Amino acid sequence: MAKDVIIALDFNTKEEVFKFLDLFKDKKPFVKIGMELFYAEGPEIVKEIKKRGHKIFLDLKLHDIPTTVMKAMKVLSNLDVDMTNVHAGGTVAMMEAAIKGLTREDGTRPLLIAVTQLTSTDQRALEEDLLIEKPIDEVVMRYAQNAKTAGLDGVVCSPLEAGKVHATCGDNFLTVTPGVRFADGDKGDQKRVMTPLEARKIGSDYIVVGRPITQAQDPVAAYNRCIEEFLG
Ligand code: C5P
């Protein structure tokens, strides 16, 4: 299975993005485009980054009625991204519709992964706001199983959950894990973190790394360090 480091391009102008990507010269890291950049710059930014030869994870976390998600996914599949996502909370029917929309006429499609519960949702919010009276890791595993049932390729999860997701859904079910920090680095607002080496040992398939690379004094060196630790 292809394992890789995905850089979160958490910038909100294309000038900043290209200044950053130019640092890598002819190296073409796998990158993540989130809502901030997509809503600021529109689909053009996806096309431009793709044209430069990068793989793209388009992190827009769709969550709506199945028909709307199907139609939106059809549009995204034309952007030729490599990976995109939905909220598993939209139900199995919504995730099945997402796959349908994403699948091109020739049968190919980008990888589709699900967000289970956001890491910002804790046990209190689950019970008091959402009236879900189950332990949060049970909820996360059930949502992961729902994603698998719908035919998705994997989930976004904390690296701490990656082992359990594989135990529940199988080793081929992808775990894409943010919350990665170097052992000697600043945690920022991430609370439950792992180093790239630990993420590798626990079986993460892709790590998503933002500030430890984008805010580093030498982003290329930080990226290379991530690759070395994670891919060995
Ligand atoms: O800068 P940092 O490495 O914390 O960035 C992590 C990236 O992964 C950000 O784009 C953030 O939005 C995203 N993410 C996350 N935690 C999640 C889901 C996504 O940090 N549970």
Question: Parallel, antiparallel, or unpaired for β 30-34 and 56-62?
Answer: parallel
CA of 1 to the centre of ligand 1 (A): 23
| pLDDT of the residue at 1 | 65
CA of 193 to the centre of ligand 1 (A): 11
Question: Parallel, antiparallel, or unpaired for β 154-156 and 111-115?
Answer: parallel
The predicted-structure confidence for 172-210, as pLDDT tens digits, reads as follows 999 999 999 999 998 888 777 899 999 999 999 999 999
Does 90 contact ligand 1 (Cβ within 6 A)? no
Mean pLDDT in order along the chain per 10 residues (232 residues): 93 95 96 96 97 98 98 95 98 98 96 92 93 94 98 94 96 96 87 91 96 97 98 93
Say which residues have a Cβ less than 8 Å from residue 52's Cβ, sequence separation at least 6. Answer: 21, 28
Does 99 contact ligand 1 (Cβ within 6 A)? no
| pLDDT of the residue at 58 | 98
| List of domains in the chain | 4-231 (3.20.20.70)
CA of 158 to the centre of ligand 1 (A): 10
Is this prediction's pTM over 0.85?
yes
Residue 15, H or E segment: helix 14-22
Contact assessment for residue 16 and residue 41, using Cβ atoms and an 8 Å cutoff? no
Q: What is the overall mean pLDDT for the chain? A: 95
CA–CA separation, 68 and 50 (whole Å)? 25
Smallest CA-to-CA distance from 137 within 174, 95, 167, 97 is with: 167
Residues marked active site are found at: 61
59 forms beta bridges with 34
Does 196 contact ligand 1 (Cβ within 6 A)? no
User: What DSSP string runs through 20-46?
Assistant: HHHTTTT---EEEEEHHHHHHH-HHHH
Nearest residue (CA) to ligand 1, atom 19: 178
Does 34 contact ligand 1 (Cβ within 6 A)? yes
